[in-house]
């Protein structure tokens, strides 16, 4: 198994993966552009672990041991000794390609480079790397602590050895891996985005409010979260980026066009749980 895991980006997904890894006794090198962001991320991880102590899931000793497994970095070349690196930056393929370009230049030829992209082409992201057979996707789902599934995305040139190592890694984290092809939106987003889009159209046409739509979907589907609660959990900005990506990659399929409500919410800074306000208000919940 991997001795050193590098994680690029300290957003919700990057922090969540780091937390899972250190609890699984994997050493993590956590990268972001400045020390302020890194301090904020380690504080969040520590707070999350302490909540787990309060719930009786782990011991105080495990918190200390887990935090000691994290090293913070502000220079990508400092990840050069990692044998596995996960990119978890914004859902912008230009940014992701640039990160992979720099990682490719500063890591060993045996280092596996993975992206957490939820909709972009893994083959395209790693197109200019020296060893495309070691490029792969690891699409985790929010909330990462409780979501069981991870899409393992096979690029056009990803080899079987890389896939097998990532499957073992995902299993070690206590998640269920499913291998998917490098196709727009993979599987989960191809299913969820039309659901989100129809829910938004119903809202935009004043057919029903968010509570009614979520309630009905949960009853019919027997699922724990409706489309609006799910988008709040994912992040409205992420949901919008995923919708835009799938729309573009489907050559402008009308039913996949991002709804204007999402764009308006992103521009207003209403991004869901991470900003305490989205389709629902989380100020009281997150204050506890």
Selecting among 119, 189, 192, 230, the annotated active-site residue is: 189
Selecting among 119, 131, 139, 229, the annotated active-site residue is: 139
CA neighbor of 86 nearest in space, from 214, 173, 197, 187: 173
Selecting among 41, 66, 115, 118, the annotated active-site residue is: 118
**Residue 147 known to be catalytic:** no
**Residue 102 known to be catalytic:** no
Selecting among 87, 91, 151, 229, the annotated active-site residue is: 151
**Residue 118 known to be catalytic:** yes
**Residue 259 known to be catalytic:** no
Total number of residues shown for the chain: 288
Strands of 70-73's sheet, edge to edge?
70-73, 27-31, 4-8, 84-87, 112-115, 135-140, 149-154, 176-181
Name residue 281's beta-bridge partners: 277
Catalytic residues: 118, 139, 151, 189
């Amino acid at each position: 198994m991997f001795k050193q895991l590098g994680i690029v980006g300290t957003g919700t997904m990057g922090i969540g993966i780091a937390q899972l890894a250190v609890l699984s006794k994997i050493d993590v090198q956590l990268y972001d552009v400045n020390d302020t962001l890194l301090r904020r991320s380690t504080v969040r991880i520590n707070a999350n672990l302490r909540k787990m102590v309060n719930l009786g899931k782990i011991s105080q000793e495990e918190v200390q041991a887990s935090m000691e497994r994290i090293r913070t970095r502000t220079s990508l070349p400092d990840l050069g000794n990692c044998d596995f690196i996960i990119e978890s930056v914004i859902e912008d393929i230009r940014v992701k390609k640039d990160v992979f370009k720099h990682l490719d230049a500063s890591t060993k030829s045996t280092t596996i480079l993975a992206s957490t992209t939820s909709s972009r082409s893994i083959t395209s992201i790693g197109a200019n790397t020296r060893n495309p057979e070691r490029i792969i996707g690891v699409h985790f789902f929010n909330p990462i602590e409780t979501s069981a599934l991870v899409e393992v995305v096979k690029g056009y040139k990803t080899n079987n050895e890389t896939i097998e190592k990532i499957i073992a890694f995902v299993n070690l984290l206590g998640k269920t891996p499913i291998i998917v092809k490098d196709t727009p939106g993979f599987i989960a987003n191809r299913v969820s985005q039309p659901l989100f889009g129809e829910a938004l159209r119903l809202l935009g046409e004043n057919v029903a409010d968010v509570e009614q739509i979520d309630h009905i979907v949960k009853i019919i589907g027997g699922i724990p979260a409706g489309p609006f609660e799910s988008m709040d959990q994912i992040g409205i900005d992420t949901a919008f980026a995923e919708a835009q990506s799938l729309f573009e990659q489907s050559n402008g399929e009308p039913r996949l066009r991002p709804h204007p409500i999402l764009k308006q919410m992103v521009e207003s800074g209403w991004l869901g749980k991470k900003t305490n306000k989205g389709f629902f208000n989380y100020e009281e919940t997150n204050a506890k």
